[in-house]
Copies of this chain bind each other. A is one copy, B any other.
């Protein structure tokens, strides 16, 4: 099976998420990275391309150029990964979609609602696929959790507790910290800080597993670090479809929390608990029975979990494998689309998830400005 020719926008030297996307694309051997507009600085773009072994003529200085030229090549890329800061998602995504090139885009969807709306229109107008890397949805035990909820094993869902806590922005990260720089700059990140960067993951995960949308929320956002222009903590009450209630907490100023995305979900018949830092485990508490520790590929693992798992139980998979699952499922969908079939994008996050995330950010900010008033999504 020939590999899918892949390009990348963003992800030059020192970038964090670009390197993650590249490893994710490599793990299952489905992609071949052959082109890139890796930086908005031409010199840096060239150097980064060289370091990655790209051909010089496929190391572009701008995404517009890249989209046009790759579309024109007989061996042009079939898919592009967009791993730029948020404000630079919509432009490249629309450019490649217009050329019929599939887009795999980092989250959140865009920096502004306006961009999001334009991108949504572009996605709908294109035959190419648009996939948003809400990577946490592709962890095997999250897939199992979703399946257990869907099958009714927990009964009607009543409660959701989701949190995503980090500590890396506890202090002002300083001008040198590239990751912190754009994430705390509203011009590049959008109006949301923590709420956009990690709150959207928490929101997405809660909805993905529960199968329920957030109907309205009441948010209390804070910027604890002096001078910070975006929120670094958000305490949010949720009202979900069907009467379920929830709490979403995200923070980047919680010392001791590295990447603490954690989901608990409780129904009339049982509860589930999962933490991203120990992703091979899923706790299941049937009401009235002993707690069960389900492990990836263990005796209690389900078909949905096993389908996105590579190694036997006890041989831990991690963040990169979860991310790779998105790429591998995307590859399957891309191959189907390119061979004229209707691709199955069932569990892949796409434009709908992206728009839901944008509405979540927007609602949270508006609610907080209204003193935590309820805002419908």
Question: Per-residue 0/1 for A1-44: is the Cβ within 8 Å of any B Cβ (1 yes, 0 no)?
Answer: 11100000000000010011011001111000000000000000
In the complex, which of the residues B1, B259, B280, B318 contacts A317, with contact meaning CB atoms closer than 8 Å? Answer: B318
A232 closest partner in B (C-beta): B158
CB under 8 Å from chain B, chain A span 259-285: 259-260, 264, 266-271, 273, 276-280, 283-285
A160 closest partner in B (C-beta): B235
A156 closest partner in B (C-beta): B224
Which of the 9-residue segments A163-171, A204-212, A357-365 touches chain B?
A163-171
CB distance from A150 to the nearest CB of B (A): 18
Point out the residues of chain B lying under 8 angstroms from A317, CB to CB.
Answer: 318-320
Provide the bound-state CA to CA distance between A285 and B291, in Å: 12
CB distance from A298 to the nearest CB of B (A): 6
Q: A237-B218, A321-B318 are in contact. Are A286 and B255 (CB under 8 A)?
A: yes
Which of the 9-residue segments A63-71, A119-127, A305-313 touches chain B?
A305-313
CB under 8 Å from chain B, chain A span 317-376: 317-321, 371-372, 374
Q: Is there contact, CB below 8 Å, between B260 and A245?
A: no
Point out the residues of chain B lying under 8 angstroms from A300, CB to CB.
Answer: 289-290
Point out the residues of chain B lying under 8 angstroms from A287, CB to CB.
Answer: 167, 170-171, 255-256
CB distance from A179 to the nearest CB of B (A): 9
In the complex, which of the residues B167, B239, B291 contacts A293, with contact meaning CB atoms closer than 8 Å? Answer: B291
6 residue pairs bridging A and B, Cβ less than 8 Å apart? A159-B253, A254-B266, A256-B285, A290-B293, A316-B318, A372-B374
For the complex of A and B, the 8 pairs showing the least CB-CB separation, nearest first, are A256-B285, A258-B314, A259-B314, A290-B300, A316-B318, A318-B318, A255-B271, A256-B271
